Amino acid sequence: MLDFRDRGSVKKVTNDFSGRRKFVVTFIMICMLALVVRDIHLQVISKQFLKHQGDMRQVDEVAVYAYRGMIMDRNGEPLAISTPVESIWINPRELRYAKQEGIRAMEKLLNLPEGKVMEWIKEEPRRQFLYIARRVNPQLGEDVKALKLEGVYFEREFKRYYPAGGVSAHIVGFTNVDDIGQAGMESGYEKQLKGTAGSKRVIRDGQRRIIDDVESINEPVSGKTLELSIDQRIQYLAYKELQVAVEENNAKSGTLVVLDAKNGEILAAVNQPSFNPNTRNNLKESVYRNRAFTEVFEPGSTVKPFVVAAALDGGYIKPNSIFPTNGTLQIGRNTVKDVHNYGTLDVTHVLTKSSNVGVSMMSLKMPPKYLWDTYHQLGFGISAGAGFPGEASGRMKDYKRWHDFDRATMSFGYGLNSSALQLARSYTALADDGLLHSVSLLKREEDDDVVRVFSAKTARSVRKMMETVLTKEGTAYEARVDGYSAAGKTGTVKKATARGYTESSYFAVFAGMAPVNDPRLIIVVMIDEPSAGKYYGGLVSAPVFSKVMAGALRILEVAPDQEETMPILLTQRKPFDANEVK
């Protein structure tokens, strides 16, 4: 029997269901409308903003490295060039999940100890960038890429290569791992050589790997090429001869500089021992320092020709002046000595015999300021200004503090010091008829900074006097140059210590030029602490001068001016005495 009392409940349930359905439908409609509104907002209103945000996550701007400028010698021979290489870095947060076999294979390719990469990952688990190899061979980089390890990335860089190796290392210098100049011309001309990096836009994938180039923003600008004054042929010749001399004389070190007497260009500058800039493991500053430009020594008797020239130019002596040397000269409580008692000498023979007494007598005839001015004009106490970083200025005592004995010792090269480059530069005033040249490590045609120090007549006269130094009567018979006339001066210099001058350590020096009538080249050779028995400049350094000068003149195709090497001997000749060589 139907209970009409339940009809109200049924009606109520039906109304509740209908209300819920309306609510659900309404809610769905509202959600759909919200989605439509959101879609319109994203697709129309915020389109550009979202595109920019997406690009920021996928499009990136990266640097494009510029080639570092090449360094060449005067004939276009490369001394420093840049080659493309690969640098490898990892994202430790990604690589930690890579297969261990792949990581071990990568370690083996890169010569890393087994487990080293995982050790780095454990030490820096949160890092996202870590170099594991810098500037590796591109082929090696391809081998590592072939492993397809997640979290391993590659970067194109450039590595500096030095074809001449140790021959020109002290001049050219080297760069560090970031290709920034650290020594030599690489450091001194960093701004010109480094170039300007460019930039480009690239697309990266979700793992930040570059998958495509978008556009170039700025093109990289390569560094400028540096053309040096160095002639690599002469540089190599000088390097080998100096190396032999240092080894044969068991010397501490050696330095040699070759100058063009006509325009002051530096054609060669070498040091021993040298180093290989391509493999610089455990390299010390004392090894790569360019001693030819940055270290000083007392030049000894190599300055005597300047004293003679100054005295002649100032009218304090005449070419036929006579000096009764007699072996010693007492100056107050001090004594100047010669190796032997040479008796009475004329001006020429003062240089021939390298008489300390004779040149001291000349010096004492001149006012202190006059002699100081002459040295100063010749560049002593002033940087040579070749454009090399760290060039030495040397030292010269103020003439106001000179005593008579100071004037004497200054005349034979004690009490002042200079670098090998400064000494070579000073000799241009004798080689080019009294004109002192500036010096340059960059190739140039002419010297626009020439200063007259001596008269042309005096310079020519002193050159002829210096020619006698290379005779059997002189102190540098071993300096003769095959096929060419040559002139020069020896120097055997006691080394200074905290307790004064030592009797056991010397600088063996020779400075000279050739051919005599029209000098083309000037060469200075300095051997530091020869200890194989010989230590005189005429026996240690003069033979190096002879070999390098002969070879260099032939390289430059300078015509010989003598049929025979044997110079004409002076009158009153006597047997060659090695004890007189100094």
CA proximity to 552, closest of 525, 581, 517, 582: 525
CA proximity to 525, closest of 515, 436, 538: 538
Phi and psi for 134 in degrees, rounded to 5? Answer: -115, 135
- The CATH-assigned architecture of domain 232-275+290-565+576-580 is 3-Layer(aba) Sandwich (3.40)
Cα distances from 192 to residues 178, 189, 223, 391, in angstroms, run: 16, 6, 6, 20
Would the pLDDT of 67 be above 50? yes
DSSP assignment of 68-99 equals PPPEE-TTS-EEEEEEEEEEEEE-HHHHTTS-
**314-370 tens-digit pLDDT:** 999 999 999 999 999 999 999 999 999 999 999 999 999 999 999 999 999 999 999
User: What CA–CA distance (Å, rounded) separates 287 from 295?
Assistant: 12
- The CATH-assigned architecture of domain 62-227 is Alpha-Beta Complex (3.90)
Cα distances from 68 to residues 158, 443, 555, in angstroms, run: 8, 20, 31
User: What CA–CA distance (Å, rounded) separates 370 from 411?
Assistant: 12
User: Which among 51-55, 140-144, 179-183, 379-383 has the top mean pLDDT?
Assistant: 379-383
pLDDT of residue 283: 81
Would the pLDDT of 42 be above 80? no
In sequence order, the 6+-apart residues with CB closer than 8 A to the CB of 86 are 135, 136, 137, 138, 140, 141, 154, 155, 156, 157
**Hey, what's the torsion of the CAs at 22, 24, 26, 27, to 10 degrees?**
160
Cα Rg, the chain, nearest whole Å:
39
User: What CA–CA distance (Å, rounded) separates 288 from 212?
Assistant: 44
Would the pLDDT of 140 be above 60? yes
Question: Computed from CA positions of residues 7, 8, 10, 14, in that sequence, does the dihedral angle turn out positive or negative?
Answer: positive
User: What CA–CA distance (Å, rounded) separates 418 from 299?
Assistant: 7
Would the pLDDT of 169 be above 60? yes
pLDDT of residue 47: 64
Would the pLDDT of 151 be above 80? no
Phi and psi for 115 in degrees, rounded to 5? Answer: 90, 0
Calculate ∠ Cα 437-73-423, nearest 5°.
30
pLDDT range class, residue 578, cuts 50, 70, 90: very low
Cα distances from 519 to residues 428, 463, 488, 560, in angstroms, run: 9, 10, 11, 12
DSSP assignment of 390-450 equals T----EE--GGG--HHHHHHHHTT-SEEB-HHHHHHHTHHHHTTTEEPP-BSB--S--S--
- What burial class does residue 101 get, using C-beta atoms within 10 Å of its C-beta: 0-12 exposed, 13-18 middle, 19+ buried? exposed
Domain range summary for the chain, segments of one domain joined by +? 62-227, 232-275+290-565+576-580
User: What CA–CA distance (Å, rounded) separates 291 from 527?
Assistant: 11
pLDDT of residue 471: 95
Q: SS3 of 337, please? A: strand
User: What CA–CA distance (Å, rounded) separates 217 from 214?
Assistant: 10
Catalytic center residues? 301
Low-confidence winner among 29-33, 85-89, 537-541 (lowest mean pLDDT): 85-89
**535-551 tens-digit pLDDT:** 999 999 999 999 999 99
User: What CA–CA distance (Å, rounded) separates 234 from 549?
Assistant: 9
User: What CA–CA distance (Å, rounded) separates 513 from 466?
Assistant: 10
Instruction: Give CA 105 to chain center in angstroms.
Output: 40
- What burial class does residue 363 get, using C-beta atoms within 10 Å of its C-beta: 0-12 exposed, 13-18 middle, 19+ buried? buried
Q: How far apart are the first and last CA of the chain?
A: 149
**177-200 tens-digit pLDDT:** 888 999 999 999 999 998 887 776
Quick check: 562 and 485 in contact, CB under 8 A? Answer: yes
CA proximity to 145, closest of 191, 86, 91: 86
pLDDT range class, residue 63, cuts 50, 70, 90: low
Question: Which residues share a beta bridge with 272?
Answer: 254
CA proximity to 182, closest of 167, 192, 172: 172
258-268 average pLDDT score: 97
What DSSP element (H or E) covers 141?
helix 138-145
pLDDT of residue 213: 59
Cα distances from 465 to residues 331, 388, 456, 500, in angstroms, run: 27, 34, 14, 33
**395-426 tens-digit pLDDT:** 998 999 999 999 999 999 999 999 999 999 99
Cα distances from 175 to residues 158, 162, 533, in angstroms, run: 11, 11, 40
User: What CA–CA distance (Å, rounded) separates 502 from 497?
Assistant: 7
CA proximity to 234, closest of 77, 463, 428, 439: 77
pLDDT of residue 58: 67
Would the pLDDT of 122 be above 50? yes
User: What CA–CA distance (Å, rounded) separates 236 from 60?
Assistant: 49
In three-state form (DSSP H/G/I as H, E/B as E, the rest C), the secondary structure along 193-259 is HHCECEEEEEEECCCCCEEEEEEEEECCECCCCEEECCCHHHHHHHHHHHHHHHHHCCCCEEEEEEE
Q: Provide the 10 A C-beta neighbour count for residue 138.
A: 13
pLDDT of residue 37: 78
pLDDT of residue 582: 41
Quick check: 263 and 447 in contact, CB under 8 A? Answer: yes
Calculate ∠ Cα 497-498-499, nearest 5°.
90
Quick check: 192 and 69 in contact, CB under 8 A? Answer: yes
CA proximity to 65, closest of 176, 209, 185, 219: 219
User: What CA–CA distance (Å, rounded) separates 343 from 350?
Assistant: 11
Model pTM above 0.85: no
Do you find a cis peptide bond into 519, omega within 30 degrees of 0?
A: no
Q: Provide the 10 A C-beta neighbour count for residue 300.
A: 26
232-275+290-565+576-580 shares the fold of 62-227: no
pLDDT of residue 570: 40
pLDDT range class, residue 88, cuts 50, 70, 90: confident
